[in-house]
Each structure stands twice: as structure tokens, then as C-alpha cells.
Structure 1
Amino acid sequence: MVSIQEAFNIIRNQDPQLKTEFRNLDDCLGFNLAEAVKAPFDMPSFDNSAMDGYALCGNYSEYTVTGEVAAGDIDQVRLKDGEAVRIFTGARVPAETTAVIMQEKVKRENDRIVIEGEIRPGQCIRRQGEEFKKGDPVFEEGFSINPAAIGLLGSLGIARVRVFKQPVVHLIATGNELIEPGTPKKAGHIYESNSHALSAACEQFGFSCASRVQIEDDLEKIRSGIAEALKTCDVLILSGGISVGDYDYVKQALEENGVQEQFYKVFQKPGKPLYFGRRENSFVFALPGNPASSLSCFYMYVLPFLQLSSGSNNAGLPKIQIPALRDIENKGDRPCFLKARIKNNSVEISGGQSSSMIRSMALSNALAYIDAGTLIKKGEAVTCYLIS
């Protein structure tokens, strides 16, 4: 058995084989850059107007309007002292421009304008290279591409980027009692939910499951299912069958498939019977079968590894310190990850902490870490991991 920190360190110190590919700009959301991006030119690439108004030469109360500059015009307009041109947002400002004044602060009569506001040199002008100079770093390797990043890459003229491939994930749920939702239920049956929840949790963080299967508590079938999954997957997630019951065959089946144990059992609650192993460049997480335990272990251990396997600079769930709404006590001898709800800048432990209870997880947005034998008083800081 290992401690929580030891389990974190073992996962973090793995060396998954990272693969890369080029993806089009419209198809790279959520992927992580496989190489740093530098600005190919100054950004903005020319001085341009920050708004609709008039480009002014000199500092006067009145100007003569000599023309117009629209966004996209490539002809270079020249200004003389005391002259102005009508200009629009994003249009290139003439080289002689002192300032741009917004149209709301101008009164125009024919080709004359009267300024009704203050003129400050350089106002309302986006200067060339203001955001980036050519060669400046834009994004580092491992940066997770978000919508704003796609917009910025597009504005830099970049149509394709080199990213790390997402790991191929397979899911296996084990249990004789399990049946698929939507099928008739008999006495002793339980609707299989863990693989659905785990698949959704993967998708929540930008990953997808290539396959999701259910296998009976039969050693040969589990061994065969694992062998088949390991042929193509980077990460195999199993749910159930990893404890010490008479029908818990997963650990034996993994060993017989050549999977090398990295750790088995973590000193925590819930989720003590957690297994992590690897065979060459394929990695295996065997999670407890209880729904809340299974999801908690995914969030705390599987997710950081999926991020590591996709070249991400992130490392697990966001972690914050937040005041307790009321006293929280862990009387047990193991550290706990408790389902919790953060609201109005405080955290409250959810009702229904049993590892089999999934509703309280559905109503929670955090896991609160409480050390063994600890009493946290109302208002004291609690370490919370944000799950939504």
C-alpha cells in the first residue's frame, strides 16, 4: 500500500510515449501544442485605428477632412498639418497621424470637423508590435489550445499546428450483476453505470474512449478482454473486480497479461483498492467498483495521467483553499476525499458520503481533502479539488 503522495509521484514519474500530428486550426481545440509557437510577424503588423473616427494630424480644435481610410485599404494615405481623414476600426492609420478621435466626439459640417473632446497624442491607435514583436514567444510547448488561442493562431496566419495526439483509452467494466441501462432488470441485477460515468468524465476534460465493454466475473473472459484492449490502447481503465473477493479476478488477469504493478492500494478513503500498472507503453488503472470511489479515483489519479499522456502542462484538477461553511471532522485513520459543494466562497460537505452513493457526487462540484484524525473548524481553509 502507498500513500496518496506516493501514488501521485509514481504516476507523475511515468514516461508515456508521446506521439504528435498536425491538425487544422478548426480541429485542434483541446489538444496540446507539441512545439512552441513564435510570432511570424509583428502583431499588429501596422499601426491601426482602435475605433471608428478620424485620424488627425496636429493638435487643433478644427480640421479639414481630405479623405477616408477603410479597413483593408492598402493605399498609403498622406496627411498634412491640420488635416484629417475618416477612418474605421482596424484601418491603417496614415504615418503622419497624431491621434485618432472617436466619431462621437466630433461634429462634422461638409469637409470640416470640430473636435469636442480632448486630443492626446497616440490615443486610439494600436501600435505595430504592441502585442508581439516578430519572433516573440506566443505559446509554449504543452499549451492547451482554447478558443481564444485558435483565434490568435488564425490572426497570425497559422492554419495548421503540431500537437500531441490524445491517448487511446479503452474502458472495461466487470461484474456478473451488471446489465446495460434500458434492458429488463431482474432480482440481483444492477444497471452498469461506471463505464458511462467514466467515459463522460473523460469527455469532460477533452478525452474520448475508443471502446467501452462489459465483461462477466470470469477469469478467462477478463484475461482475454484485457489482452485484446492492450493491443491498441495507450490507457486501459477497468472498473470493479480489483478488491479481494472470491470473484475479483482483475489483478490476476493483469499479471497473466504481463502488466507490471506500479502500485496497488492507496491509503485513502474512498478508493483504497486502486491499482496502477504498465506493460511497455500501455498503462492500466483498475478502479474500485463502487460508483463514487470509481469517479473519485478517476479525478485524482487517472485524469493527471491522461493529461501527462497528451503532452499537457496541466497536472490534475484545479486545487484551491476555501473556508469551511461548518465544522468538518475526519475521525478515521485514513485521509479522505469527500464529495463537497462550493458556493458563496465557502465549502460544505455533501450528504451521502458512502462510496456506493453517486447522487451526492452528481450534486457536488469539488472533492474536499481532509487528513486522518483532523477537525477543521468553521471558517478554516479546506483543500478542495474542483471537479466542475
Structure 2
Amino acid sequence: MVTIEEALRIIKDQKINLKSEPKPLEEALGHALATNTVSPFDVPEFDNSAMDGYALCGLYQEYRLVGEVAAGDSKDVSLKDGEAVRIFTGAKVPKNTMAVMMQEKTSVKESTLFLDEMPKAGQNIRRKGGQLTEGQAVFEKGHILNPPSLALMGSLGLSQLEVFSKPLINIITTGNELVKPGDPKSVGQIYESNSYAISGALQQFGFQHHQKTQIKDDFEATKAGIKSALESCDVLIISGGISVGDYDFVKQSLEENGVNELFYKVFQKPGKPLYFGRKDNQFVFALPGNPASSLTCFYVYVLPLLQKLSGYGNYGLPTYQFPIKHAYENRFGRPSFLKAAVVDGKVEVLDGQGSSMIQSMAKGNALAFVNEGEVLNEGDLVKCKLIA
């Protein structure tokens, strides 16, 4: 058995071979860049108007209107002293423009423009290179592409990006008692739910499962199912069958398939019977079958590895500290990740901390970490990982 810190260190220290691939801009969200990016030109490429209004030559309150410039116009326009043109947001400002006045502060009579106030030199003009200059660094390798990143890359004319590939992930659930939701079930059977939780958690952080399989509690079936799953994935996530019961065949089946154990069992609650192994460049997590345990182990241990395999510079859920709303004592005998809700900057440990109880986790938004035997008073700070 290992400690939480030891388990996380083992995951962090894994040597990996990152793979990269070109991705169309519209498919690159959530991927990490595999190369450094520099701007191929100035942004903006030309002085342009930040407002719908009037481009002015000279600083006066009265001008001669001599034309109009719309966004996208490529013609060269030059103003003389005392002249103005109607201009629209994003349009290239004419030569000799000293300022742009927003239309709400103007009035027009025939061909004369009147301003409600004196203009200031340079106002409402977005200067060439004001955001980026040609050759300037934009993003470093490893930057995770969010929606604003995609917008910036698109503005640079980049339709395809070289990004780190995300791992192929297969999911196996085990259990004779499990029935697919929607199918009829008998007394003693339960509806399978863990694969939906794991699949949903993967999607929550920008990952997708490649294949999902359910296997009966049978040694040969488990061994064959693992063998098949390992043929088409980088990471295999198994739920159930990893404890020490008479029908728990996952650990032995992994050994039979050449998976080397890196750790088994973590001194924590929930999720003590957690397995992590490796076969060449493939990784396997065998999670406990209890729903809350399974999902907790995903957030704390599986997610960091998936992010590491995706080229992220930082991985794992960030930890925050919040004052607790009430006194609490950890009597579980192990360091614990507790289902919790952070509301208005304070954390509340929820009822229903059993490993099988998923309702409290569904209503919460955090995992609060409390050490073995730790006693907390109202207002004490608690480490929390936000999961929603």
C-alpha cells in the first residue's frame, strides 16, 4: 500500500513519448500546442477604427465631410486638414487621420460634421502592431488551446495547428450484477453507472473514450476482455473487480496480459483498492467498483496522467483553500477525499460519504481533503479540488 503522495509521484514520474499531429483549427480546442507560435505579421496589419464614427484630420469641432470608408475597403484614402470621412469599426483609417470620433458624439448638417466635444489625438484608433508585431512570440509549446486562443490563431490566418495527440482511452466495467440502463433487471441486479460517470468525466476535461465494454466476473472473460482492450488504446480504465473478493479477477488478468504493477492500494478513503500499471507505453488504472470511489480516483489520479500524456505543462485539478462552514472531525482512519459543496467562498462537507453514495457527489462541486484524525473548527481552511 502506498500513500496518496507516493501514488501521485509515481504517476508524475512516468516517462512518456508524446505524439503530435496536425489538427484543423475547429478541432484543436483543449489540445496542447506541439510547437512554439510566432506572429507571421503585425496585428492589426494596419491602423483601423475602433468605433463606428468619423475619421478626422486635425483637431477641431467642425469638419468637411468628404466620403466614407467601410470595413474591408482596400482603397487608399488621404485626408486634408479639416476633412473627415464616415468610418466603420475595423475599417482602415485614411492617411493623415489624427483621431476617430464615435458617431454618438456628432451631428451632421448637409456636408458639415459637428462634434459635441474636442477630439484627442489618437483616440479610437487601433494602431498597426498594437497587439502583436511580426515575429513576436504568441504561444509557447504546451499552451492549452482555449476559445480565445483559437480566435487569435484564426486571426493569424492559421487554419491548421500542430498539437500533441490525446491518448486513446478504453473503458471496461466488470460485474455479474450489472445491467445496462433501460434493460430489464432481476432482484439482486443493479444498473451499471460507472462507465457513464467515467465517460462523462472524460468529456468534462476534453477527452473521449474510444471503446466501452462490460465484462462478467469470470477469469477467462476478464483476461480476454483486457487483452482485446489493450490492442486499441493508450490508457485502459477498468471499474470494479480489483478488490480481494472471490470474483475479483482484474489484478490477476492484468498480470496474465503482461501489465506491470506500479502500485496497488492507496491509504485513503474512498478508493483504497486502486491499481496503476504499465505495459510498454500503455497505462492501466483499475478503479474500485463503488461509484463515488471510482469517480474520486478518476479526478485525483487518472486525470493527471491523461493530461500528462496530452502534453499539458500542468496537470491535475488545482487545489484551493476555503474556510469550512462547520466543525468536522475525520473519523474514517485514513486521509479522506470528502464530497463537498463550495458555496459563497465556504466549503461544506456533505452527508452521504459512503463509497457507494453518488447522490451527494452529484449535488456537490468539490472534493475536500481532510487528513486522518484531523479536527476542524468552523472557519479553518480546507484544501479542495473543484470538480464542477
Q: Detail structure 1 runs of 4+ shifted over 4 Å in the superposition.
A: none
Instruction: Give how far 1:378 is off.
Output: 1.2
Partner of residue 225, structure 1 = 225
Unaligned runs of 5+ in 2: none
Quick one: percent identity of the two aligned structures? 57
Q: How does 1:1-388 map to 2 (within 5 A)?
A: 1-388=1-388
Normalising by structure 1, report the TM-score: 0.97
Alignment partners' CA distance in 2, 1:96 and 1:171: 65
SS of 1:267's equivalent?
coil
Q: Distance between the aligned counterparts of 1:104 and 1:18, measured in 2? A: 54
The amino acid that maps onto 1:117 is: E
1:300 alignment partner AA: V
Partner-residue secondary structure (3-state), 1:157: coil
Contact 2:60 2:118 in 1 (8 A): no
Aligned 8 A contact 2:33 2:164 in 1: yes
Q: Cα distance, 1:288 vs. partner?
A: 0.5
SS at match of 2:104: helix
**TM-score, reference length from structure 2:** 0.97
CA distance in 1: counterparts of 2:195 and 2:27, whole angstroms: 27
Q: CA RMSD in A?
A: 1.2
Task: Output the CA distance in 1 between the equivalents of 2:377 and 2:132.
Answer: 49
* 1:210 to partner: Cα distance: 1.0
For the residues of structure 1 that align with 2:386 and 2:327, how far apart are their CA atoms?
20
Structure 1 CA distance for aligned equivalents of residues 61 and 49 of structure 2: 20
Structure-1 separation of matches of 2:377 and 2:384: 15
Alpha-carbon distance, 1:232 to partner: 1.5
Report the secondary structure of 1:33's partner residue: coil
2: CA distance between counterparts of 1:362 and 1:115?
A: 58
In 2: Cα distance, 1:332 partner to 1:341 partner: 20
SS in 2 for 1:261: strand
Alpha-carbon separation, structure 1, partners of 2:18 and 2:122: 48
Please tell me the residue identity of whatever aligns with 1:327. A
Deviates more, 1:23-32 or 1:302-311: 23-32
Taking the aligned partners of 1:327 and 1:44, their CA distance within structure 2 comes to 56
* Separation of aligned partners in 1, 2:316 and 2:328: 24
1:332, distance to aligned residue in structure 2 (A): 3.5
Moved more, 7-16 or 299-308: 7-16
Which secondary structure state, in structure 2, belongs to the residue aligned with residue 151 of structure 1? helix
